[in-house]
Structure 1
């Protein structure tokens, strides 16, 4: 605003500006936040440096000009807001989008702003004040992040395999929908390391250790384990992941997938069993049997081979048996073998083979290739037959053929029995969408005959909503892509639909599928979800009812004591019987104090109480309370204090921590009606990822304060409800049930956690975990001064701002009794007018929550802008963290919680003014 000829503007020189405009300009120039003032009927525009950056190329020409000229390109959107402000209406908007030309080209912009009318001394609207923030970059960045996240999640949630993502610490941050469908875990249940709970107990430990070791090294991860399905059964799965690296090369986590390989392992097991059977059969045959890989490398000889040749087992693997051929037959035998390998034709040749006796004997060597369905050669199986004795050779050959025929027949029968008896739906289909072969389970599941199912394309039976996805899966199969766990709905003959889960593999122009009816599983999952939702709603309503009933009961009792005492006081004073008034006053004060204590407990439970956190030496605090605890629990209970050497300090409200410790010791005493021992123990705790997760805390350094007893202990059911409001195991009238809930609320509000460890008849340990504070602990205040409160100095004045007349009256009475001049105000704007005047003010005493559009903190900040040394005492019924800054007050500011002792208020006022 410097350098502008203000005399040439409608506002004139600054020394002629109205006081309200001067005040606003002072506030605006002292702030880094973009601010704007529009003044007078000409809408003259004033703004600070922060707002000038938002004006772009229109600054500085817009300064001192009209608001319409500044924002002429968006005037249609802005003019109604300005009109509302000049009409006396304040507005606030967030994330408002404009298309501006402030730099000569159109820009998409976003703003959050508030427009407030400003009145002159006569109460008329003279202008408008605006505080705003440009949020364009944040909105665009958040939009891009959301779009990227949505694209990834859409892709992952539609993937046919289970997918997951972790951070650099190995904590799982995302699991796709397929994981939840397969395992039955909820959307967040598998996050962190919760996914390990779905692994088979025998595989869980090795899997977790392998995963964390790979994550620590940032190395690729691959392991097989058994994974629990939603129906409780376990299936083998392969879990593989590739590491992700950030722009600077640092490991940032994994992207991985989990694939069901149960059928594959079954096939592999079957192949291994088949191989074992083959070797058993081969070793039982009375002639030489061998096999090779597809490349002709020999990898098996039966026992008969070694017996015949006399060579050590394994010495003829590969091509090591050249020396067993007769020199005249060796080249010819290998040429025929190479021809068979090249053409796939059966191997058939006679040659002389050296016997173990050293003699050469004629043998018949034959081999056949084993092929895959597509014709590819997988292996060669061969025999060598001693044909010196033709009869023996023919008999041996006959027995071999008979054995092989039985094996083939047995395997064919086994396959046919599996095809007929399995409950799974097995089928072969063409790539153009027609069934070729179906097992009986299809008719049992869908009611259609095999002929009816094969008469139409299978899409005719698919639910209309699933056809697009089915066509996409079929297109993937046509491209050679295997489809695992693809689900769609097929129409039953009765018109209903069944959910089917497909594992489909394309081979040689056909589709081979294993299909399961998962209708019941999906219905059960839906029923389970509905039951869980009903249970959560029931628990929520039970907690609300318990809280409401307990609160009404206790407060009605306390109010009865207060109102009854006041009525009796009034009656006795009318009768002139003032001797009894003191007793009724004492009763009313006691009930009021108990009501205040109950309110503080409720606020602690809800984590809304006002805390005064200070760096605290917990060992010193416990030592200072040790004698009080011993006197309170009585001589029948022994008290041991075990303080850890070198205990860290913590940032906590020491008074609340003292109350919590005393409450825990009283609970421990009540759990030992026949006496016992209480142990109060402190310790430093370093919680790693696993330990922190068990205590629902972030990893890091903490100190613990634990109270243990040798009492009756708790059952798991009692522990589960111990922190519920108004829950107590004590007889009626002996406890409110708010003690532990208050402790829990206070500790959680302080950034810590509470845990109970107990067993029936084995005692109880309650541990408070509080974050470590890196700094020295404050000295513990031993209490208030017991001396008289000094009176006010000459002319000392206090401004009291509170919307409750009774509170203003009480505070004013205290101030006047001490000789102060008291000025009262009922709301923020009224208090601010006094602060803007020239009257002497030594202290501001204000409530936090005030009417009139300005709370106590805002009023105090505005007052300090004009009176930098102003001292402020906030009085409040509960913590308004947004106003008090989560417990962090500026120097010269203090807070007291309502209700308070009048003497304490007087002492605090005196200390702040004299401090």
Structure 2
């Protein structure tokens, strides 16, 4: 291109025009500064100034032109001044060369060099570029830092100076071998760090060859393997252990590629399905899945892969013998640092026994729920610290609350009978103080004013966090209580019938007991009249006779009172009583009957017998029944005396015992267990309820009734009851509230 001294274009050739995209006419309207990149305008003008001043004959400059289309092109201009003539002034001539490709190549080279430096510095290891003879030429930043030398100091340095003395022979041998054979250099050895500490490195070197196949440079990577070497043995042991675990763990282990295709199955898996590894790889494993489970299982597997998250699904897997068992399929992805899935690992745990147990549990729970419903039993749990109360469905039904309503003590209290609320609050207080177990009965007052009876049992335990918790059961015993009350009334009536029946047999004896004082009254009354009719009247004798009349009247009244008591249906009345006195009253009523049966009655009543607590009528009924049975047992005895011994004595320190011994026919050991059964009798006219009722009465008095065979003929029937003491006195409330005959049942 030719320009005037101001830089305006005079002429250009086609190459120049094509390079810039302008026509010659368009360029003649411009100066070279118009198309020069602004970064090069001042340097370009300065050079032209020096050229015009004669300081330069020519100059070269590399700069950028802006094409017509706005793009930039790199050029190298060689500029000189062409001398003018008289007719032609001086002008500038520029030879321009398009060097865009070269500049781009140079920039790319610089970028590559910079990238190489960044790459070298980014490598997690020590990198060294060495001469063919082993001198350092270039190192990365990690190498400089490790050895504590600058890059300049590293140049020409022989790294053998830092090799551990024990490793140096092997390093030299390996290096010589690589140099002589032009083979890669690969050796593990220790290198001294700047602080004097030696660490293990793996040195790997590759040779660079020239066109003549001669080594001109070595590229060496030193990787710190010190931690690896220290952990190598542990790792090997761990790998061996892992291998054993994978193949011995009671689960089927497997792995799959990111796309879900299976690639590995442990020995347990292969042994279970009885198929080779090659047949299971890919999607071949699905042949062992139960057809009914395959759809859900594969859908779950696809969902896990799509989400890239762990998951699990249950399904049946065919065993080598054709049997299907339930397994829990678990899959976990292994991710790289970017979150990409590298591999899937999974285990199939045999849950067949658990599934069967769950089915049995489900059935058991169903049976339990139905059983609770039928037996009217509900269960509960109560966490004391939070008052969190959980109820079973049946308990909601018992209290007649809507299912699922949050249970609170306030809600429970709204159903408890007002008279039993103190009992409930007392139970809550004891539980809060740490009582281990509790049991009590209370009533519910329902909205329709009906009453339910509940029996509650609670057991204290600790939850996983160590907090006090009670677990228990509540039974609706309303029907039982109503039945017991009805049964109690029936038993009381039966006991009354038994008493009346027994007394009916003693009619002659009773008549004798009544007639004797009545006869005395009549005789004394007649005597009193004669004494008063005498002249003069024997007043003192009449007075004494009247006293005897009153005495006999009182005797008759006592007999009638005792009979009325035995015949009555009055409520049970426990009292402190003398068992000897009660025994004498019964024997006095029975004496005539016993004498008519030729029974010889003997008493051995202890003088120091302490009082007992009980119902006088019921205990006398027991004594009367034992006396009658003993008399009846001797009714057929003619070869020996019909002796009957009634004895009272202490039974240990806190009990008294009464025994009735006869000389009758006795009983066999086989019959001993049946003596006290209801409706069991050996009499042709007996009902078989006397001994059964007697045992119920004695047991209700905290006692025991039993029979033993005598060493000689006959048998002995005995009962033992507690003496009166404070603990028994406190029990009077219970005895007073409940019919002992009913309780014993």
TM-score normalized by the length of structure 1: 0.29
| Larger-Rg structure | 2
